[in-house]
Structure 1
Amino acid sequence: MTFQKLRTNKRNQWIIIHLRYLVGFAFFPSGLTKLLGNRFTVISTDTPIGYFFEAMYRTGFYWNFLGLCQIVAGILLMTQRFALLGALMFLAILSNIWIITISLSFTGTWVITSLMMIAVIVLLIWDHHKLMPVLGYNRTITIESYPDPGRIWINAGLIYTVCLMGLSVPGPVQEGLGLWISRLLIGMVFLTFLFTNYKMYKKLNLDVKNQA
């Protein structure tokens, strides 16, 4: 019953929606870098960390495949509708990254990856009812039905995906057209955020008035 109250609370839904956006975006810069065949770091190979990343980079297709998986996981989270599948993919990829950052003693990076792990676990707990038929072997299970994010959040996710992917393309931003495109993409992200949250604010106020 407590979970049902948490799950149906509109403010909690808003937090989860934007947590999906944030976690999904986290993989875009590194994923695009790998997919395009670029090195992820310039750390010297004399260090264990630099040697590890150089070895990963030299695997070739695996390096590109890892980047592709990161981007797909991020896009699935951004869509909201397929967020659970994205969170499962994200967990599989991030678990490896998290252990790597801890085992190789990355300075400070393990804190970031640990926070990302917590965020993904929260997303999986939020949608755990959808996993119950898989986990409950040979048992009849009643699944609670909760409202999915509205169309406005799905459309916003598509806009965020296009804009943030464009902004995540590795390499310096050139003067002229490239700079204006970057500014346009940033503006679209900002306006989308303002519009969707204004609509959410109005809806919350309307619900409060109806309950009064």
Structure 2
Amino acid sequence: MNLLSTFDRIHFQAKHNRWLRYFTVFNRIALAAGFLPSGFVKIMGERFTALSSNHPMGHYLQVLFETGYYYPFIGVIQVTAAIFLLIPRTATLGALIYFPIILNICVLSLSVRFDGSLVSSPLMVLANLYLLCWDYDKLKIILPFSQPIQKPKQLNNQFPVVFFAGVFLAVLTVGFTLTNVYDIKPRNTWSDCTSQFKNNDPVIKKAGEHFCDCIHKKGKPLNTSIDEFERTVKKAGIK
């Protein structure tokens, strides 16, 4: 229980800090802004993106678009979560609804290497986790352990340098890692896809163009296209 007591103390100090309260409001607004436009598009029954249906993400979104009332239903849930985040009394519920949706989007974006949300969706997951931690005192009552948490009587105006330095470092780390972790990506268009191979060995360039054709013109699965690219490169003896 010492670990729990330590977390309670840290949480108490965080809730006591004026700057972290501002940061909490910023996260709520930012996350709400991320879901409101996309949610309204779904509610209106419009296609969410102009990506080709041959693109892995475009294909998924096209199939999702054709699921009937399930498509606007997702939009309603997204808008509901966003609005709840903007209302102080329902912000905790909004964060709870928001989390499984954005986690699903994050895993989807990483699995198909989608440039559009490759960095933003993991950062949104982290922001959502921060909000859930911020509301730990409200969520704790549903956990198998429960201890009363004191509410701060006066706000602390000291700027949490270490915390915000950690936030800045986390953003840089996520951004750098996810923009460099993949050797090849489908990109959003055929021309963008082929541009990532323009300065490579002629064999790689040709294999890359074939990869882009498979994705954007033939509509082949991403993993199949990657396997074909890697076999061609390996057969040519190029690392």
The two structures have a TM-score, normalised by structure 2, of 0.57
* Residue-by-residue CA offset, 1:49-84 (whole Å, 9 max, x unaligned): 211111000002010000000000000000122111
Counterpart amino acid of 2:148? T
Provide structure 2 residue ranges, at least 5 long, that are not aligned to the other structure: 1-8, 154-239
Aligned to 1:67: 75
What is the aligned-residue RMSD (CA, Å)?
Answer: 1.6
Counterpart Cα distance in 2 of 1:106 and 1:140? 41
For residues 37 and 101 of structure 2, what CA distance do their matches in structure 1 show?
15
Counterpart of 1:145 (choices 133, 145, 151) is 151
Q: Quick one: distance in 1 between partners of 2:13 and 2:114? A: 40
Distance 1:99 1:82, change over 3 A: same
Aligned residue pairs total: 145
CA distance 1:134–1:12, change in 2 (3 Å): same
* Structure 1: gaps spanning 5 or more residues: 148-212
Whether contact under 8 Å (2:36, 2:82) holds in the other structure is yes
Within 5 Å, give how 1:46-61 maps onto structure 2.
46-61=54-69
Identity of matched residues, %: 32
Residue identity in the other structure for 1:40: F
SS at match of 1:82: helix
Return 71-80 or 47-56, whichever deviates more.
47-56
Alignment check: 8 A CA contact 1:30 1:40 kept: yes
In the TM superposition, what is the alpha-carbon distance from 1:113 to its structure 2 partner? 0.1
Paired residue type of 2:89: R
- For the pair 1:104 / 2:130, whether they are aligned, the reply is no
- The Cα of 1:43 is off from its aligned counterpart by 1.3
After superposing the two structures, state which structure 1 stretch, 127-136 or 84-93, moved more.
127-136
CA distance in 1, matches of 2:146, 2:132: 22
State whether residues 92 and 132 of structure 2, in contact with CA within 8 Å, keep that contact through their aligned partners in structure 1: yes
Partner of 2:126: 118
**In 1, Cα distance between equivalents of 2:69 and 2:142:** 32
Match of 2:23 among 15, 18, 22: 15
User: Aligned equivalents of 1:108 and 1:66: distance in 2?
Assistant: 19
The answer on whether the counterparts of 1:20 and 1:78 sit within 8 Å (CA) in structure 2 is: yes
2:142 to 127, 130, 134: 134
Q: What is the distance in 2 between the residues matched to 1:17 and 1:107? A: 27
Q: How does 1:86-105 map to 2 (within 5 A)?
A: 86-105=94-113
TM-score normalized with structure 1 length = 0.64
Counterpart of 2:165 in structure 1 is none
CA deviations on 1:105-164 (whole Å, 9 max, x unpaired) are 10252210000001000111111121111112xx553243358xxxxxxxxxxxxxxxxx
